[in-house]
Amino acid sequence: MTQPETPDNAPRIPSAMSAESNQSLPFAAALDDFFVYMRSEKQLSLHTQTNYARDLEKFQKYCLEKRITELDKLAPNHIRIAVAQLHRTGLGGKSLQRWLSSLRSFFQFCIKRQWMGSNVADGITAPKSPKKLPKTLDVDQAIQFVEVEGDDFIQQRDRALVELIYSSGLRLAEVVALNLNDIDWGEAMLRVVAGKGGKSRVLPIGSAAMVALKNWLPARKLFTTDAEQALFITQRGSRIGHRAVQIRLQQLSVQQGMDTPVHPHMLRHSFASHMLESSGDLRLVQELLGHENISTTQVYTHLDFQHLAKVYDKAHPRAVRKPDSND
């Protein structure tokens, strides 16, 4: 069968290593065959081929420096040393993971061609990339954002919505899914159900959020029926959607004079960051955020842990929950 012609811009590995060895298959020949396979049999995109070429060229350069020109001379230790060298030059964890993936694919191809007996890159991992702290608002910025003024339907709803997200660290999906009966109005507590397993958690609601929610209820009632149980609705009387919340927060970012667009998860991140700054209680924040693994919460800080509503009341800048004489 005639092989398709190689496009002029198709990636090629430089044939820096001689193909004249009579001992075992040289790198250059194996790489050429690998790229014919990638292009003709796998029919990978030009972008993917270019990525493979870039990754394998790095390894070829390393092997030239070590005078390794043949496949049967490779050992796992060569891969480990190459990973360490690339990491020292500034290549990050994710880039090194992709680089190792390219090597494994190439070596697996060589094994199928019976040019190698084992995949010398198997079991070798890249250094982990440091987790970056999500972008957050400081306390003053958060308060500026959630203090939405006005008494019409949209303003009442938006104020209650953003106050509640920031008060209790809710995910977008969680706040959209809330029903009226999820709130204990007397105790100022909230039940949230989230995740694939439908796990629930109970969260405190700060005083500012409770005031905004109670002010929102009369406006909400004018636009819907008793059959609709959604806490947050549109002017059409139905449950508000994810995209509608995102758009409203973008509009509020401009309206409230924010320097950067605020999205729902930024409010959740800000909640977590402010709670940790005030309390230093990582376990508390893990429980409030609903993280199964505390390592997920550790992206916010490396503080040590030490309980729930009492710490919350002292720590959250909008949380001083006082008994309501009307309850």
168 in Cβ contact with 271 (< 8 Å): yes
Strands 183-184 and 199-204: unpaired
Catalytic residue numbers, as ranges: 171, 196, 265, 268, 291, 300
Q: Which 3 state secondary structure label does DSSP give 134? A: coil
Element (H or E) spanning 199, and its range? strand 199-204
DSSP string, 214-258: HHHHHHHHTTS-TT--BSSB-TTSSBPPHHHHHHHHHHHHHHTT-
Q: For residues 101 and 125, give the distance between their C-alpha atoms in angstroms, rounded to a whole number.
A: 10
The widest CA-to-CA distance across the chain, in whole angstroms, is 92
Nearest CA among 175, 210, 160 for reference residue 189: 210
Nearest CA among 113, 16, 110, 25 for reference residue 63: 16
The encoded tokens of residue 310 equal 């009492």
Alpha helices by DSSP H, 8-129 = 27-36, 46-65, 76-88, 93-112
Q: For residues 127 and 150, give the distance between their C-alpha atoms in angstroms, rounded to a whole number.
A: 51
137 in Cβ contact with 165 (< 8 Å): no
